[in-house]
């Protein structure tokens, strides 16, 4: 029985190695690329101070990225992403005996510089990536009364309305992720992966950790 298992294991391994060897080489070396990506934000619970918390809903966003492939393995680039989701919050009074529940709309815009390492020089390649950047957060929670503002609009001309200040901030963000990429041909590629992103809120919540799924479709530039 043990011999049979060993035969199956080594046969499967050799088949996998030979299959990878038969894959065509990638088209990445010394080329620029860009892609459109769809983002899946996982729901997360954020715990603050003195019993306060926020439950962030999962949602879908989108983004763009551009990169330069130094060779078949290393790519350096930049990305811009947007996610708009809902959250439920629980705020505690100073005395700690009264809780206030609320709902809000969280807007997140991230710009980062990133690096990707592909483990093979084949068209099908697993990869790891890391990124550093900044994330703009707007909770749409009012921080003051609405004030009248006026401006010139290209469609409506001179227009006046009310503007409400909201709680927002720009924070440092970083992430690590893994994924798989397929160079379909010398023009197009697809990839998908999963990342953990850390937002340095530097307030009650401290560091907020988020999970992100990504699927992208892109093209090489000559």
Of 214 and 154, the structure prediction assigns the larger pLDDT to 214
Asked if residue 101 has pLDDT above 80, the reply is: no
Q: How many CB atoms lie within 10 A of CB 86?
A: 13
Which of 95, 132, 91 lies closest to 112, judged by CA? 132
**Arithmetic mean of pLDDT over the chain:** 81
Give the Cα separation of 98 and 105 in Å (integer): 23
Q: How confident is the model at residue 192 (pLDDT cuts 50, 70, 90)?
A: very high
User: DSSP 3-state assignment of 42?
Assistant: coil
Locate the domains of the chain by residue range.
30-142+169-221
Alpha-carbon radius of gyration of the chain: 23
At residue 215's C-alpha, the angle toward residues 131 and 106, to 5°, is: 65
Q: What is the pLDDT of residues 44-92, one digit of tens each?
A: 877 666 666 677 888 899 999 999 999 999 999 999 999 998 877 666 5
| The CATH fold of domain 30-142+169-221 | Porin (2.40.160)
What's the pLDDT at 5?
Answer: 54
Asked if residue 22 has pLDDT above 90, the reply is: no
Mean pLDDT of 106-124: 94
Of 103 and 96, the structure prediction assigns the larger pLDDT to 103
What is the pTM (predicted TM-score) of this model? 0.76
């Amino acid at each position: 029985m043990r011999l049979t298992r060993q035969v199956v294991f080594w046969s499967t391994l050799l088949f996998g190695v030979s299959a990878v060897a038969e894959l065509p080489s990638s088209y990445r070396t010394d080329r620029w690329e860009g892609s459109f990506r769809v983002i899946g934000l996982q729901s997360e619970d954020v715990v603050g101070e003195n019993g306060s918390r926020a439950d962030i809903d999962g949602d879908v966003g989108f983004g763009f990225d551009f990169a330069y492939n130094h060779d078949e393995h290393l790519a350096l680039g930049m990305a811009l992403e947007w996610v708009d989701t809902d959250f439920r919050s629980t705020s505690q009074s100073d005395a700690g005996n009264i809780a206030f529940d609320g709902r809000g709309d969280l807007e997140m815009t991230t710009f980062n510089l990133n690096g990707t390492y592909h483990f093979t020089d084949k068209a099908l390649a697993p990869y790891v990536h890391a990124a550093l950047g900044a994330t703009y957060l707007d909770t749409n929670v009012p921080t003051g009364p609405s004030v009248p503002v006026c401006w010139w609009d290209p469609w409506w001309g001179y227009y006046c309305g009310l503007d409400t200040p909201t709680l927002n901030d720009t924070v440092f963000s970083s992430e690590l992720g893994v994924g798989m990429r397929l160079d379909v041909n010398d023009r197009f590629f697809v990839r998908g992966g999963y990342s953990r992103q850390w937002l340095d809120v530097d307030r009650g919540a401290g560091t907020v950790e988020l999970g992100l799924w990504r699927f992208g479709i892109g093209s090489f530039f000559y």
